[in-house]
């Protein structure tokens, strides 16, 4: 296991360097001169050159890319162009806010979708199964923005069940502000997750060992939870672990529309102000998290299923 982890970490290095190169080229070469995007068309050449020298953008591109790699290794992403604050400090401050919103929504939608998929798989081919499938397709078909606007207008503005927007760092008030975004998160996630987990459960139900378990007279609840759910853990683990980086980096639309000061809001503000240090930092942090959780996924495979061997 130790050798496998070291080997995968070594494999991850060229992947991260490749992502860093693509990110650097997109924002420093293809996207044009970031200084001109900041100062506008009417700035004098002297101001442009001074600002370019202050940001280190007057150096050759290879040296700028080496500096970018150094920032990734040291997690020192410099200062934001717009706020002049330390980028890493801003992200550390915003990450718990994003996690406060994403974690309960993720856990609730995961539990509901897995439970519903087991229920639907048990009633496969019946009217109950067809109703759940139709409902899940309808939920997927509705745009995310429609759910957000409906929740803000009817549930928050008309009915007054929730605040329309905002966030509080007071533990006694934070629930009232995140309740509606969490509810919308669950609704947005439920349809797609139900279809995915339903397919996973049906694949396991049609296996020979399930027919053997039933022929032995085992209770259907034991068959569904002890055999079907246990042997469906590999695709479930894959789906769960791959989603975790998204929990940390925030939900763009939800945070933006509900004025939640998380990493999603930071990223949108960075795009609006051409704040390249913040954009590049968030892209690289997410990429690193994604690679790390892919490695954790492979490790968890061997822990939940003894048939999986790590080589």
Give the pLDDT score at 39. Answer: 67
DSSP 157-169: IIS-SS-SS----
Place of tokens 């469906």: 232
CA angle 175, 178, 180 (to 5 degrees): 115
DSSP 228-283: IHHHTHHHHHHHHHHHHHHHHH--HHHHHHTT--SHHHHHHHHHHTT-HHHHHHHH
Please, what are the domains in the chain?
2-74 (no CATH), 96-304 (1.10.3720.10)
Six-digit token string for 101:
């919103």
pLDDT in tens, 226-245: 778 877 888 888 888 888 88
pLDDT in tens, 88-104: 999 999 999 998 988 99
Separation CA 186–CA 188 (nearest Å): 5
Which position has the higher pLDDT, 46 or 285?
285
Give the pLDDT score at 306. Answer: 63
C-alpha Rg value of the chain to the nearest Å: 24
Give the pLDDT score at 218. Answer: 78
Nearest alpha-carbon partner for 161 in 174, 146, 180, 187: 180
Which of 109-118, 231-240, 296-305 is the least confident region? 296-305
Would the CA dihedral through 9, 15, 21, 24 be positive or negative? negative
pLDDT in tens, 40-97: 666 777 777 777 777 777 778 888 888 889 988 888 888 888 888 899 999 999 999 9
Give the pLDDT score at 107. Answer: 92
**Is residue 311 predicted with pLDDT exceeding 60?**
no
DSSP 71-122: HHHHT---B-TTT-SBHHHHHHHHHHHHHHHHHHHHHHHHHHHHHHHHHHHH
Calculate helix-pair angle for 263-272, 87-122, nearest 10 degrees. Answer: 120
Of the pLDDT bands very low, low, confident and very high (cuts 50, 70, 90), residue 183 is very high
* Partners of 79 in beta bridges: 86
pLDDT in tens, 198-228: 888 888 887 888 888 878 877 777 788 777 8
């Amino acid at each position: 296991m130790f050798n496998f982890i070291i080997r995968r970490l070594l494999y991850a290095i060229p992947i991260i360097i490749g992502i860093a190169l693509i990110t650097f080229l997109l924002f420093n070469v293809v996207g044009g001169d970031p200084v001109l995007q900041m100062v506008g068309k009417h700035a004098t050449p002297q101001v442009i050159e001074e600002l370019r020298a202050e940001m280190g953008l007057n150096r050759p591109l290879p040296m700028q890319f080496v500096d970018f790699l150094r920032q990734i290794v040291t997690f020192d992403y410099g200062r934001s162009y717009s706020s002049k604050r330390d980028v890493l400090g801003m992200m550390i401050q915003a990450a718990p806010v994003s996690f406060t919103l994403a974690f309960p929504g993720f856990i609730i939608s995961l539990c509901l979708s897995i439970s519903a998929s087991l229920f639907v798989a048990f009633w496969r081919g019946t009217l109950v199964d067809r109703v759940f499938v139709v409902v899940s397709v309808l939920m997927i078909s509705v745009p995310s923005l429609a759910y957000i606007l409906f929740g803000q207008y009817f549930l928050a503005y008309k009915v007054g069940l929730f605040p329309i927007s905002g966030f509080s760092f007071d533990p006694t008030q934070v629930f009232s502000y995140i309740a509606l975004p969490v509810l919308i998160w669950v609704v947005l996630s439920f349809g797609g997750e139900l279809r995915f987990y339903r397919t996973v459960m049906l694949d396991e139900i049609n296996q020979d060992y399930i027919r053997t378990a039933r022929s032995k007279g085992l209770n259907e609840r034991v068959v569904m939870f002890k055999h079907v759910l246990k042997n469906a853990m590999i695709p479930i683990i894959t789906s769960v672990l791959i989603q975790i980086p998204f929990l940390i980096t925030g939900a763009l639309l939800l945070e933006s529309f509900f004025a939640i000061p998380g990493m999603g809001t930071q990223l949108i503000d960075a795009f609006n102000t051409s704040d390249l240090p913040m954009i590049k930092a968030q892209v690289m942090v997410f990429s690193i998290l994604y690679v790390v959780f892919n490695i954790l996924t492979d490790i968890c495979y061997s822990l939940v299923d003894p048939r999986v061997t790590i080589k």
